[in-house]
């Protein structure tokens, strides 16, 4: 049997060396962590020693496959953690990819019970995938990976970032948090760059503001409208189709009164058409809609019948950052039939994790118009910019 020792900064790296030199049939005979000292002993560096062998004479007599032998069955603590790494390496060699989220559209027609089982399986696989990501990186990277997870960035993006950082730092004596941040920002920037990001274009007259109940549609309209009047000197008006609650009409009238702008109330499509005619002399018309449980597709159909989604209109979907990501994805799926280019995320002041914003933009290829960070009108709103989103993502790290 030919035997050789390999040293690398991680077990996966060592496995690469073994495979490259001894081939796929090599057997791992032992593995342990070794600490080497650099710069007169001032800097300690952890690396992994792997002893591998291959029986070249008689392949049928070869020791059990690496899966079984990579970590020898010793009971020391060090080897227990190596076993975890081993499992991770095996998972990497034979990856079990978590199933991608399918849209509700694709899942339609699947019986409820089966759909629930699929959902359970999905979350089980996601948690397995999470453990794998946890184990595949050196300890020094884990606090950074944990930060990404706290920000609720999805596992797919975490793996992309983790792999890049791992490649970058594999030869380094220590891992620098601000460098990790820089690399991560570059990766996320590349992913976000192609998306439409920024506030109102002021090129389309009608601004449709849509979204579930209580997310902050009316308040956000008031903030956008105030900017249009005060900063851009636009002549504006409002149409509300939220006729379900008296208070909703009064709320919009209060803001309109402050801006001295007209409000039209549309109970049906005919009223809406007449309101459009009456406000045709204005530069911009903000259209407030009723918050509904948009998990029910009929409410999206109602919207489509009531208001206009033509090339004179710009449509925004408002989502509150306090909601669960899964619920937000369901809503975006439901709105697929409408031409929504950009999202407005509200209530970012009520959360410390910004990852969901980035996950959804990337997953759905949707731009970002504004994010709002408080109840004060008109000040608590920011026009979106990629750099600001990236800064927000790392804001929690400074706290």
Ligand X SMILES: Nc1nc2c(ncn2[C@@H]2O[C@H](COP(=O)(O)OP(=O)(O)OP(=O)(O)O)[C@@H](O)[C@H]2O)c(=O)[nH]1
Distance CA 147, CA 44 (A): 25
Residue 344 binds ligand X, judged by CB under 6 A: no
Angle at which helices 155-169 and 355-364 cross, to 10°: 100
User: Residue 212 Cβ, how far from ligand X at the closest point, in Å?
Assistant: 7
In this chain, which stretch among 97-105, 167-175, 199-207, 343-351 interacts with ligand X, using CB under 6 A?
Answer: 343-351
Q: Are 279 and 264 in contact (CB under 8 A)?
A: yes
Phi, psi of 353 (to 5 degrees): -120, 125
Tell me the residue number closest to ligand X, measured at CB: 291
User: Residues in the chain, how many?
Assistant: 399
Residue 159 binds Mg ion, judged by CB under 5 A: no
> Which stretches of 151-204 are DSSP H helices?
155-169, 177-192
Residue 215 binds ligand X, judged by CB under 6 A: yes
When binding is defined by CB under 6 A, the residue of 199, 291, 367, 378 that contacts ligand X is 291
Residue 351 binds ligand X, judged by CB under 6 A: no
When binding is defined by CB under 6 A, the residue of 380, 389, 390, 392 that contacts ligand X is 380
Collapsing DSSP to helix, strand or coil, 52 comes out as strand
H or E stretch covering 259:
helix 246-259
Distance CA 121, CA 200 (A): 41
Nearer to Mg ion, 134 or 322 (CB): 322
Pair of tokens at residue 158? 């975490």
When binding is defined by CB under 5 A, the residue of 10, 154, 208, 218 that contacts Mg ion is 218
In this chain, which stretch among 122-130, 170-178, 213-221, 330-338 interacts with Mg ion, using CB under 5 A?
Answer: 213-221
When binding is defined by CB under 6 A, the residue of 346, 351, 356, 359 that contacts ligand X is 346
In this chain, which stretch among 41-49, 171-179, 218-226, 269-277 interacts with Mg ion, using CB under 5 A?
Answer: 218-226
Distance CA 216, CA 210 (A): 10
When binding is defined by CB under 6 A, the residue of 22, 145, 248, 358 that contacts ligand X is 248
By DSSP bridging, strand 2-8 and strand 43-54 are: antiparallel
Q: Write a three-state SS string for 96-110.
A: CCCCCCCCHHHHCCC
In this chain, which stretch among 76-84, 130-138, 182-190, 209-217 interacts with Mg ion, using CB under 5 A?
Answer: 209-217
Residue 378 binds ligand X, judged by CB under 6 A: no
User: Residue 345 Cβ, how far from ligand X at the closest point, in Å?
Assistant: 9
Residues in contact with Mg ion by CB under 5 A are: 217-218
């Amino acid at each position: 049997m030919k035997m050789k020792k390999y040293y690398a900064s991680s077990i996966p790296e060592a496995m690469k060396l073994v495979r490259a030199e001894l081939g796929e049939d090599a057997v791992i005979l032992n593995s342990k962590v070794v600490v080497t000292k650099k710069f007169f002993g001032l800097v300690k560096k952890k690396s992994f020693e792997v002893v591998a062998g291959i029986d070249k004479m008689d392949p049928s007599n070869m020791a059990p496959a690496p899966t079984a032998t990579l970590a020898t069955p010793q009971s020391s603590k060090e080897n227990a953690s190596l076993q975890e790494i081993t499992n991770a390496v095996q998972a990497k060699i034979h990856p079990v990819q978590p199933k991608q989220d399918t849209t509700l559209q694709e899942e339609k027609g699947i019986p409820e019970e089966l759909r629930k089982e699929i959902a359970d399986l999905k979350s089980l696989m996601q948690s397995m995938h999470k453990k794998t990501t946890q184990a595949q990186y050196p300890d020094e990277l884990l606090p950074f990976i944990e930060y990404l997870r706290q920000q609720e960035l999805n596992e797919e993006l975490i793996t992309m970032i983790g792999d890049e950082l791992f490649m970058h730092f594999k030869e380094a004596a220590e891992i620098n948090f601000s460098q990790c941040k820089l690399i991560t920002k570059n990766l996320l920037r590349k992913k976000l760059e192609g998306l439409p990001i920024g506030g109102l274009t002021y090129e389309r007259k009608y601004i449709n503001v849509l979204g579930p109940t209580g997310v902050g549609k009316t308040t956000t309209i008031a903030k956008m409208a105030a900017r249009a009047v005060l900063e851009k000197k636009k002549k504006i008006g409002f149409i509300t189709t939220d006729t379900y609650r008296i208070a909703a009409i009064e709320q919009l009238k209060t803001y309109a009164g402050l801006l001295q702008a007209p409000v039209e109330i549309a109970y049906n499509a005919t009223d809406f058409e007449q309101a459009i005619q009456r406000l045709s002399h204005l530069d911009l018309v903000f259209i407030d809609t009723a918050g509904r449980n948009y998990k029910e597709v009929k409410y999206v159909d109602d919207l489509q019948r009531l208001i206009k989604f033509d090339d004179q209109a710009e449509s925004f979907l408002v989502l509150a950052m306090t909601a669960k990501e899964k619920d937000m994805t369901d809503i975006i799926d439901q709105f697929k039939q409408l031409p929504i280019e950009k999202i407005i995320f509200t209530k970012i002041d009520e959360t410390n994790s910004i990852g969901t914003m980035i996950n959804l933009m990337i997953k759905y290829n949707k731009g970002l118009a504004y994010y709002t960070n408080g109840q004060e009108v008109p000040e608590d709103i920011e026009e979106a910019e990629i750099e600001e989103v990236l800064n927000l993502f790392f804001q929690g790290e400074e706290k």
